[in-house]
Amino acid sequence: KFTGNFFYDYMMGIEFNPRIGKWFDFKLFFNGRPGIVAWTLINLSFAAKQQELYGEVTNSMILVNVLQGIYVLDFFWNEAWYLKTIDICHDHFGWYLGWGDCVWLPYLYTLQGLYLVYHPVQLCTAHAIGVLMLGLLGYYIFRMTNHQKDLFRRTNGNCRIWGKKPEYIECSYVAVDGTKYYSKLMTSGFWGWARHFNYTGDLMGSLAYCLTCGFEHILPYFYIVYMTILLTHRCIRDEHRCSSKYGKDWKKYTAAVPYRLLPGIF
């Protein structure tokens, strides 16, 4: 897809799923393999460096490795689900995805580990437990919200969410070939609380990573600021696409689930 703007095409990509031969898919490879693996290895190297410099690994460094390690394991265990995300389903492959996944992700997402190498923090027990609980709760919300949506899709709504049959709004749209299709947008479970409640869980986990570093410096908190901007922008971008796709049916859905991320607030 050419727009005529060289810089935009280079940044956002031209090909939707560029491949080499039959088996190597650039988007599939770069979406997880280099950056996600590097994220884990860099975090472990920071823990090893802390041990080398100070003779111990602080509980804050352990928390960073454990909480972020859970997220990484989730990615590979549920990789089939990640193939349905907006990056894979709607974005073309360009500098934005290639550089972002291979360079930006492993360097930014390891910011807390880097900080703790040079500014080791030994958290008090209450602080450490609080961070752990926040991180685990965020992961639970993130995983269960995605699981509910995946279950609903796989069964075409013939399932049970929180012990009862899920509610949904049926939306119609017309494809480029003129064919009319129907989709079901769930309004039960976590998806009845907010339209992107999985992002809320993601942000809770992101905040937990930052809180491992204490409150002496603002640098580790750049991560939660970035993630808030990224996921809010992703919400708006996805909803703009859905509004164009579903029209008046989307308005019915937003009336049934009025909040994007935080029930009662936003």
Write out the H or E segment, with its range, that includes residue 192: none
In this structure, what is the dihedral angle of CA atoms 153, 73, 220, 226, given to the nearest 10 degrees? -30
Instruction: Find where tokens 């008046």 sit.
Output: 248
Task: Report how far apart, in Å, the C-alpha atoms of 127 and of each of 69, 72, 99, 212 are.
Answer: 20, 24, 35, 8
CB 187 within 8 A of CB 169: yes
Average pLDDT over residues 163-178: 89
Q: Long-range contacts made by residues 164-171, C-beta under 8 angstroms, separation at least 24?
A: 164/188, 167/192, 169/249, 169/252, 169/253, 169/256, 170/249, 171/246, 171/249, 171/250, 171/252, 171/253
Average pLDDT over residues 73-100: 77
The pLDDT assigned to 14 comes to: 77
Average pLDDT over residues 115-124: 97
CB 69 within 8 A of CB 40: yes
The pLDDT assigned to 76 comes to: 87
CB 59 within 8 A of CB 47: no
Banded pLDDT at 89 (limits 50, 70, 90)? low
Distance CA 251, CA 266 (A): 16
* pLDDT at 200 > cutoff 80: yes
Distance CA 254, CA 97 (A): 30
Q: Give the up-direction half-sphere exposure of residue 84: CA atoms within 13 A in the CB hemisphere.
A: 9
Instruction: For the chain, give the longest Cα–Cα distance.
Output: 67
User: What does the pLDDT look like over 238-266, one tens digit per residue?
Assistant: 999 899 999 999 999 999 999 999 998 88
Residue 162 corresponds to which tokens in the numbers above?
């929180």
User: What does the pLDDT look like over 40-66, one tens digit per residue?
Assistant: 999 999 999 999 999 999 999 999 999
Q: What is the DSSP letter of 259?
A: -
Q: Where are the domains of the chain?
A: 1-122, 140-266
